[in-house]
Structure formats: structure tokens, C-alpha cells
């Protein structure tokens, strides 16, 4: 089989790229190891920057996001028993939407299916060939058959454990990594929102985050040992911990609900440079990981896709290679900004085991500063809404 662009991975990056290329008359095939049901139910984060919302809207998949997502104009930072607001819209003119990643995936899959897009689920034994030539191919197994997809370009959107990044020779690639000694315990519960806006809380017991999914489903997290097990956490113990960390002096407290999902995720910062080799280009988690504190993961994947769409379009319409050649360099500017922001927010908000009282006071001093200085708050806000790096 032949296509123009072979895409490995049906996450937000792969699906969105495939759809944007289709809208420009460029053919692609998306290969995914998991089933459609699996990708549509994997629980991930859910904050969309303005630029992400705009690109989803441009792709024609923004209707449900607009109707069901919640537009937020600010968020709160809780520390030392008080809560202070970061006025995103007032400081930057932009806002964010809270809309779960798997809902974005459902919208994108529906759009690809409606457009008769080629999407292969449940593939295995994927391998890349000839990526250093102008006739690359992807071999894989699908429904018991050995298949080969010949293409002009291979785009690796297959996450941090996928085959794509590993296909770039180690000698040409450098990995930058930081593993954090804590994780996030996440819950989904039925119940009313605790607050109109997200609350990021720093507490001596550890970080907590109050987020939302809808009027009656809430998403909350608290810092935990990444090696802990959800079985050690009864519902009562979870609520006690969230109350201890988030309830504030002004009488505000977290609204309990019926917990129906619990999970623990580790936290890691990671960048692969380069993000390209010959006719292979990486996008999203295949090339970079951020801890979830800055809510940047999916937004970075979408920003990569914006660049790749433009670069592939320039190749097919104007026979230009320059945007593809410069892809990694351009993408890495936004990525490193987001890496720093996510690391900074993570370091300011989490309990660091072994931190001295002096270091703990520095965290509080920094929170005081970003919540009282307009300049400092603007730095936080423009990074959060995603305009700290101009639209590429």
C-alpha cells in the first residue's frame, strides 16, 4: 500500500495531523497498536490553550469542545491557608478550555471516520525502513497479515515508548531527562464542582489540584509516592487528604463526591533533540514529556502538528523542503519554554522530600510574588495560556 504521509500513533497528534493534511488534499494512513475503544477511554489531562482550541476549530472538530468544554478565565493558587487568583484573561487577553483529552480523541476519530480516512487499529510489530532515503516505509502486522506502507514521510506520534524515536540513530540524538521523585494520584468523582476555577494547592503535606470535567463529574489530583498503589487509598483516606491540603482559612472546602476512578502517574520531563532524521519527524510525546503541572502535554503535541502541517503543505504545494528541514529547531523553542514552565511550576508547588525549611520558605516566597506582582503573574499567565512563545 502507498500513501503520502505514514503516521504512527492515533493520539491527538497523529489524528489531528491526519485530519489537517486531509483538509489540504494530502493523503495519510494512521497506524495504532491499541483499539479504538482503548484510545477513546484512556484518561489524560484536559486543559486546552487558545491556540489548541483554534486549531481544533480550524480542523472542523471544535463543536463539542465549544459546547461541552468549560471556558476558564483564570485559576487559583492556594498556599498557606489562602487562595489567590491568576487572572489569565485580564493579564493576557486569552483563556483556556477544560475539555478532556479522550473527548478530543473521540471528536478526531469521528472526523477521520466520516471523511473515510485510513485508520488501522490493533497493528503490531511496527518497524521503520529507509527513513534516510526519500522512499521510507513502515512494516507492520494487521489482522494477522504482514503489511507494508510506502510513503514520502513518516511521522512518529507513537508516544514515549513507541518505535519511532528509537529509529533515529542514537549517535545523532540527545535525550534530556529529569525524573521527579513523586507522582500524582488522580480521581474522577461524581459530584458538584468545588470551585468555578482550577485550584493548584501547595501544602506541607504535598501538592493538590482541583479540576473539573462537567457540572457533575470532577477531576482531582494529589501528590503521592509514584510507587504507591491505589489499593492503599480508601475513599475516606483520599477525601481526608484532599481536605487537609486544599481547604482554606476563608471557609472554602473541597466538595466530596462518589469516586469512580483512581490512578497514579509518575512525573517526568524529557526532550529528544533532534526530533527528525531523514524522512522521519517526531511529534508529541514521542519527542517530549512534561510533568502535568503546567497542563502543557497535549498543547505541545498540537503545536508540533501545526508546524508539521505547514511544512508538509509547503513541500507538496511548493516543493519546498526548508520548513521540514527546520522543523526540529523551530519546534524545540516552544518545547523548551514549556519544559521550563512545567518544571518551574512543579518545583514551586510540590513537597520536595528532604527540602530544608529555608527551601520551603522560598517556595512560599515565590507564590507570594506571582500572586501579588502583576509582572510575575503575567509571566505565569502567558506561559499557562501558551502565548509566551509566538504562534509558529
Catalytic residue list: 72, 200, 292, 296, 384
Whole-number Cα distances in Å, 220 to 45, 46, 187, 195, 262: 11, 12, 5, 12, 10
Q: Which of residues 80-99 bind ligand PHB (CB under 6 A)?
A: 98
Residues 9, 46, 136, 278: which binds ligand PHB (CB under 6 A)? 46
Query: Least distance to ligand PHB from the beta carbon of 211, Å?
Result: 3
Residues 33, 126, 223, 293: which binds ligand PHB (CB under 6 A)? 293
Q: Give the C-alpha separation, 22 to 312, whole Å.
A: 12
- Provide the pairing of β-strand 199-201 with 258-273: unpaired
Cα–Cα nearest to 54, from 388, 286, 389, 385: 385
Q: Give the C-alpha separation, 164 to 10, whole Å.
A: 13
Q: Does 47 bind ligand PHB (CB under 6 A)?
A: yes
Q: Give the C-alpha separation, 122 to 187, whole Å.
A: 28
Determine the straight-line distance between the first and last CA of the chain, rounded to whole angstroms. 33
SS3 category, 317: helix
Q: Identify which range of 44-52, 156-164, 188-196, 225-233 contacts ligand PHB by CB under 6 A.
A: 44-52
Query: Least distance to ligand PHB from the beta carbon of 295, Å?
Result: 3
Q: Does 45 bind ligand PHB (CB under 6 A)?
A: yes
Q: Identify which range of 9-17, 146-154, 291-299, 311-319 contacts ligand PHB by CB under 6 A.
A: 291-299
Which residue, 299 or 328, has its beta carbon nearer to ligand PHB? 299
Which residue, 20 or 201, has its beta carbon nearer to ligand PHB? 201
Query: Least distance to ligand PHB from the beta carbon of 225, Å?
Result: 19
Q: Identify which range of 86-94, 175-183, 233-241, 292-300 contacts ligand PHB by CB under 6 A.
A: 292-300
List, in sequence order, every residue forming a beta bridge with 218; answer none if it has no partner. Answer: 189, 212
Cβ-proximal residues to 339 (8 Å cutoff; 6+ apart), any chain = 269, 271, 288, 290
Which residue, 275 or 349, has its beta carbon nearer to ligand PHB? 349
- Provide the pairing of β-strand 145-150 with 137-142: antiparallel
Sign of CA dihedral 354, 359, 364, 367: negative
Name the phi and psi angles at 324, rounded to 5. -65, -45
Question: Applying CB under 6 A, what is the total number of residues that bind ligand PHB?
Answer: 11
Q: Give the C-alpha separation, 267 to 233, whole Å.
A: 20
Q: Give the C-alpha separation, 289 to 301, whole Å.
A: 10
Query: Least distance to ligand PHB from the beta carbon of 300, Å?
Result: 13
In the bound state, the residue with its beta carbon closest to ligand PHB is 211
Which string of x and - marks every residue 204-243 that binds ligand PHB (by CB under 6 A)? Answer: -----x-x-------x------------------------
Q: Rule CB under 6 A: which residues touch ligand PHB?
A: 45-47, 98, 198, 209, 211, 219, 292-293, 295
Amino acid at each position: 500500500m502507498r500513501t503520502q504521509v505514514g503516521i504512527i500513533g492515533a493520539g491527538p497528534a497523529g489524528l489531528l495531523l491526519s485530519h489537517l493534511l486531509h483538509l489540504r488534499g494530502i493523503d495519510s494512513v494512521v497506524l495504532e497498536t491499541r483499539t479504538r475503544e482503548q484510545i477513546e477511554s484512556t484518561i489524560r489531562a484536559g486543559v486546552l490553550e487558545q491556540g489548541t482550541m483554534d486549531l481544533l476549530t480550524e480542523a472542523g472538530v471544535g463543536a463539542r469542545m465549544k459546547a461541552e468544554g468549560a471556558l476558564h478565565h483564570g485559576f487559583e493558587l492556594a498556599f498557606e491557608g489562602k487562595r489567590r487568583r491568576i487572572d489569565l484573561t485580564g493579564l493576557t487577553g486569552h483563556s483556556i478550555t477544560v475539555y478532556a483529552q479522550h473527548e478530543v480523541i473521540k471528536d478526531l476519530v469521528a472526523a477521520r471516520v466520516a471523511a473515510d480516512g485510513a485508520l488501522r487499529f490493533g497493528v503490531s510489530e511496527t518497524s521503520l525502513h529507509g527513513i534516510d532515503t526519500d522512499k521510507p516505509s513502515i512494516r507492520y502486522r494487521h489482522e494477522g497479515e504482514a503489511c507494508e506502507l510506502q510513503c514520502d514521510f513518516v511521522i512518529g506520534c507513537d508516544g514515549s515508548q513507541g518505535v519511532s524515536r528509537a529509529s533515529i540513530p542514537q549517535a545523532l540524538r540527545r535525550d534530556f531527562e529529569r525524573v521527579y521523585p513523586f507522582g500524582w494520584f488522580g480521581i474522577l468523582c461524581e459530584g458538584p464542582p468545588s470551585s468555578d476555577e482550577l485550584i493548584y494547592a501547595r501544602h506541607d503535606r504535598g501538592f493538590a489540584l482541583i479540576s473539573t470535567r462537567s457540572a457533575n463529574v470532577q477531576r482531582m489530583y494529589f501528590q503521592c509516592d509514584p510507587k504507591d498503589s491505589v489499593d492503599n487509598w480508601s475513599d475516606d483516606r483520599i477525601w481526608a487528604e484532599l481536605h487537609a491540603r486544599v481547604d482554606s482559612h476563608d471557609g472554602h472546602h473541597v466538595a466530596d463526591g462518589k469516586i469512580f476512578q483512581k490512578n497514579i502517574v509518575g512525573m517526568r520531563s524529557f526532550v529528544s533533540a533532534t526530533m527528525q532524521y531523514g524522512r522521519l519527524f517526531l511529534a508529541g510525546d514521542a519527542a517530549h514529556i512534561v510533568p502535568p503541572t503546567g497542563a502543557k502535554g497535549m498543547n505541545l503535541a498540537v503545536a508540533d502538528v501545526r508546524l508539521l502541517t505547514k511544512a508538509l503543505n509547503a513541500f507538496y504545494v511548493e516543493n519546498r523542503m526548508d520548513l521540514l528541514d527546520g522543523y526540529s529547531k523551530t519546534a524545540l523553542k516552544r518545547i523548551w519554554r514549556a519544559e521550563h514552565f512545567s518544571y518551574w511550576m512543579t518545583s514551586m508547588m510540590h513537597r520536595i522530600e528532604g527540602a530544608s525549611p529555608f527551601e520551603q520558605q522560598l517556595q512560599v516566597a515565590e507564590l507570594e510574588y506571582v500572586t501579588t506582582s502583576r509582572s510575575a503573574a503575567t509571566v505565569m499567565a502567558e506561559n499557562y495560556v501558551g502565548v509566551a512563545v509566538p504562534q509558529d
